[in-house]
């Protein structure tokens, strides 16, 4: 995974939008964003299972974000994924193939940090952080999604309701304490 500040230039969201300003591991740690790289080779399931067990994840599914995988819902889903939102659970994804970008808002500066992911990257985005996702120019990402309970994807889009959300408030307190 590669992390850098988003360039905020207009244009296709699937392009790199690389500002040439890298983001270091300490900045991501302070934002409570975690990542690992585990090549998608024989035995990766054991490592993934160990992480899932350690973090209390009981369920998983595989999602293919592509025109073929989502059919008529592709454009609608891509727009929904790219709209700024939070979740009340951490979002954990292990990329099996393809690639994409998770953008996370840096607390207190509101700058976008772009996380370029590809096969073998495992990313944990904490509950309460504003973020969005898009595929890259390959138009395909296949990922394992891990869940503590039943598989769900429930977004709370940015606004007064999300700003007052308990998980958002707790997230901000946790990153303020780390600063």
| Strand blocks (E) in 15-130 | 18-22, 34-37, 59-66, 85-86, 91-105, 112-118, 121-125
In this predicted structure, what is the pLDDT of residue 131?
Answer: 98
Domain boundaries, the chain: 2-178
91 is in an annotated binding site: yes
131 is in an annotated binding site: yes
HSE, CB side, 13 Å, CA atoms: give it for residue 166. Answer: 2
37 is in an annotated binding site: no
Token reading at 24: 């270091």
- Each residue's pLDDT tens digit, 93-117: 999 999 999 999 999 999 999 999 9
Name the DSSP class of 74: H
Global model pTM greater than 0.85:
yes
CATH class of the domain defined by 2-178:
mainly beta
pLDDT along the chain (179 residues), means of 10: 97 96 97 96 94 94 93 91 95 97 96 98 97 97 91 86 97 90
42 is in an annotated binding site: no
In this predicted structure, what is the pLDDT of residue 151?
Answer: 66
The span from the CA of 101 to the CA of 105, in Å, is 13
């Amino acid at each position: 995974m590669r992390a850098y500040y988003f360039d905020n230039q207009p244009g296709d969201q699937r392009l790199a939008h690389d500002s040439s300003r890298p983001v270091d591991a300490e900045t991501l740690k302070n934002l409570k964003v975690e990542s690992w790289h585990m090549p998608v080779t024989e035995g990766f399931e054991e490592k993934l299972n160990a992480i899932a067990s350690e973090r209390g994840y009981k369920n998983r599914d595989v999602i293919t974000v592509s025109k073929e995988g989502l059919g008529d819902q592709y454009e609608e889903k891509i727009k929904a994924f790219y709209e700024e939102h939070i979740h009340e659970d951490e979002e954990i994804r292990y990329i099996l193939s393809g690639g994409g970008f998770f953008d996370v808002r840096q607390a207190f500066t509101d700058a976008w940090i772009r996380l370029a992911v590809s096969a073998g990257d495992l990313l944990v985005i904490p509950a309460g952080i504003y973020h969005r996702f898009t595929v890259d120019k390959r138009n395909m990402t296949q990922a394992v999604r891990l869940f503590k309970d039943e598989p769900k994807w429930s977004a709370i889009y940015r606004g007064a309701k999300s700003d007052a959300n308990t998980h958002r408030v707790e997230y901000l307190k946790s990153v303020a304490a780390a600063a």
